[in-house]
């Protein structure tokens, strides 16, 4: 299939498909006229790369673990020495980000509570200043 159809089927933009190829993540074959020709396996691989990217993994990490991931299902992953350590590190990073967001949310909630207790609730104009 041509790149436009592959983009539609995979949900990945044409530009991103080309980028994935440049990064060595997918390998569509070339026609005699040098057009990219995508197989269904290329489309599935592009979906997998995009899903891993949305999970917060960089393309460099994805390239390293892609051979270990047979599908998007966790029970279909092949054992790979570095896969678990990469995923554990990413999980720890996410936990740290969540903790930071919770602290920020609590600080904002405390500030808003203090303002309402003082009878000085934020006006619409001052609330707009925070946007």
What local confidence, expressed as pLDDT, does residue 125 receive? Answer: 46
Query: Residue 28: how many CB atoms within 10 A of its CB?
Result: 23
Tens digit of pLDDT for each residue in 36-84? 999 999 999 999 999 989 988 889 888 888 877 755 555 555 667 777 8
Q: Looking at residue 74, what is its pLDDT?
A: 55
54, 83 in Cβ contact below 8 A? no
Return the structure tokens found at 99: 């903790």
**CATH topology for the 1-80 domain:** Multidrug-efflux Transporter Regulator; Chain: A; Domain 2 (1.10.1660)
Which stretches does DSSP call E strand in the chain? 29-30, 36-37
Query: For the purposes of burial, counting CB atoms within 10 Å of the CB of 86, is it exposed (0-12), middle (13-18) or buried (19 or more)?
Result: middle
């Amino acid at each position: 299939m041509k790149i436009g159809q592959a983009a539609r089927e995979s949900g990945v933009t044409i530009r991103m498909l080309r980028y994935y190829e440049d990064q060595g993540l997918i390998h569509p074959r070339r026609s005699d006229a040098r057009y990219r020709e995508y197989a269904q396996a290329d489309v599935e691989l592009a979906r997998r790369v995009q899903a891993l990217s949305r999970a917060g993994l960089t393309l460099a990490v994805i390239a390293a673990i892609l051979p270990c991931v047979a599908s998007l299902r966790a029970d279909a992953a092949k054992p790979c020495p570095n896969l678990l350590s990469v995923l554990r590190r990413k999980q720890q990073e996410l936990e740290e980000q969540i903790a930071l967001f919770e602290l920020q949310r609590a600080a904002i909630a405390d500030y808003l509570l203090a303002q309402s207790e003082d009878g000085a609730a934020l006006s619409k104009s001052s609330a707009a200043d925070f946007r």
